[in-house]
């Protein structure tokens, strides 16, 4: 990168706008793929809902975050492996209390 006599660094507003736009898109894609699994409130809500779906004793459920073309939660009963797992979707609404 060249240096001009007037001290301009070459970082124009258009270049910075493009940079922040690209970072925003990458951040949104990262949250779409991995956000619910690493967000404590969403992960806790998914664990509570999965526990209710399989019987409610916190020992029999198995929760898995699957990343493919459509990321989603899979909930299954650990004591009944022959049953198909339940697809809980991408979003699980966390409770306030």
Give the per-residue pLDDT at 79: 87
Q: What is the DSSP letter of 13?
A: H
Q: What is the DSSP letter of 77?
A: E
Give the per-residue pLDDT at 35: 87
Give the per-residue pLDDT at 59: 85
CA-CA distance, 36 to 64, in Å (whole number)?
Answer: 11
Give the per-residue pLDDT at 2: 57
Which residues of the chain have a pLDDT value below 50?
Answer: none
How much is the pTM?
Answer: 0.71
Three-class SS state of 18: helix
Domain ranges in the chain?
A: 13-89
Residue 74 pairs in a beta bridge with 64, 87
Token pair 């650990």 is at which residue?
A: 78
Give the per-residue pLDDT at 15: 86
């Amino acid at each position: 990168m060249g240096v001009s006599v007037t001290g301009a660094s070459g970082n124009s507003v258009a270049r910075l706008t493009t940079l922040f736009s690209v970072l925003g898109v990458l951040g949104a894609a990262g949250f779409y793929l991995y956000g619910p699994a690493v967000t404590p409130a969403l992960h806790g809500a998914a664990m509570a809902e999965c526990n209710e779906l399989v019987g409610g004793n916190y020992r029999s459920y198995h929760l898995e975050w699957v990343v493919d073309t459509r990321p989603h939660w899979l909930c299954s009963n650990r004591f009944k492996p022959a049953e198909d797992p339940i697809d809980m979707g991408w979003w699980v609404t966390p409770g306030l209390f």
